[in-house]
Amino acid sequence: MAIGKQSAMMDHTLLELSRRNGHRSQQKPTVLALITTHLLGLESGLSYLRRLNDEEVIIRFSAEEEVLTQFPISNLIKTIGNDDWIPHHSLSERILNQVDIIFIPILSFSIVSDILSFNEQRPFVRLILKALLTGKKVLALKAGADPYHPLWRINGLDKSTTELKRSLNKQMLQLKSFGIILIEESEQVPVHLDNKRKNTIITEATIQSIYQLNQSQFIISNETIITPLARDKAKELNIELIFE
């Protein structure tokens, strides 16, 4: 999967090995981009991802099958300039624990609808909801879902009724209320981590939320604090706690 420079996947693997060996001085935040397809915003979303390669971050990405029917994976890697690709069916809680930020470069109607309806059967949505529940940053480029964005006018999609635009805008506000940060293509992803970040605390309410997402396992990093009541609730609801 050569892309004209040293493999990003190889770089990231070496960096991870360095971390495990205790060399943390050059730690960079990891961004996982989840690529969907849409009637607009695909080109600008992929272009944004390519520019993001120049930031002081580790970029990994996954694409749904519908995207790969338009872009063979080799073409997608070349377009983004990054070969650190994860098949979407391989996404898991373990992968989520290895990243700091979830990024949605193409905010499609279907991904918005599925997030708002808690459709955890869709792997991308399950990962996004778990990220929100565990306090990880989730960001998205707003162009694909913002009916007032200039991209809509450029593509002749600004002729709809006022009510339709209001409904779409209301969905945007709901995403924000869920904790998803919506940004413009001109903005930078806020990638810098808080050096004073506190350990995550898993409470009884967290376990209840995991249960409502029909999850039978919960992968937890070793730095995470889990309360006794949360342990009891997990046992009561038959949720296996896996520490890594």
d(CA 98, CA 149): 33
For the stretch 149-171, pLDDT in tens is: 888 989 899 899 999 999 999 99
Q: Between the CA of residue 62 and those of 20, 164, 226, what are the distances in Å?
A: 24, 31, 30
Residues 6 or more apart from 7 whose CB is under 8 A from it? Answer: 1, 83
Residue 21 pLDDT = 46
For the stretch 84-113, pLDDT in tens is: 989 988 888 888 888 999 999 999 999 999
Residue 7 pLDDT = 58
Residue 8 pLDDT = 53
φ, ψ of residue 137 to 5 degrees: the values are: -70, 135
Q: What is the mean pLDDT of the chain?
A: 83
Q: Buried b vs exposed e over 11-22: b needs ≥16 C-beta within 10 Å?
A: ebeebeeeeeee
Entry pTM: 0.71
CB 99 within 8 A of CB 12: no
In the chain, the amino acid numbered 225 is I
For the stretch 113-148, pLDDT in tens is: 999 999 999 999 999 999 998 889 999 999 999 999
For the stretch 23-81, pLDDT in tens is: 444 578 899 999 999 988 888 899 998 988 777 789 999 999 999 988 889 998 998 99
For the stretch 170-184, pLDDT in tens is: 999 999 999 999 999
Residues 6 or more apart from 150 whose CB is under 8 A from it? Answer: none
